[in-house]
Amino acid sequence: AFVGIIESLFAKKDKLMAADFGGNFGRVNKGIADFTLMRLYMLEAARTGDIKFWKKAKVSAESIISSGSYKIQDKYSDVFKKSNQKNKEIMLS
């Protein structure tokens, strides 16, 4: 029941804006919705052992990757530099 409630909250996630690294940085967007669902599915898969949750997590992860909104920084330490605020590796600020 818990998973169904969370899924219903994100039922219209495709209508959310794309990730914005400007004035709307940190606001809820489609990438954050997919990330939240991915984490939910991964936790449920680990808790229940049900493979369907891994499949759902994969779909959410692929949606994040294919959006092109996010990019891994070349150097891990760059993520935390003050001069590199609002970088495209940050999903939740």
Distance CA 69, CA 89 (A): 9
Q: Is the pTM of this model over 0.85?
A: no
Q: For position 15, what pLDDT does the model report?
A: 87
CB 86 within 8 A of CB 27: no
Distance CA 46, CA 26 (A): 28
Q: What is the pLDDT of residues 9-60, one digit of tens each?
A: 888 888 888 888 778 877 788 998 999 999 999 999 999 999 999 999 999 9
66 three-class SS? helix
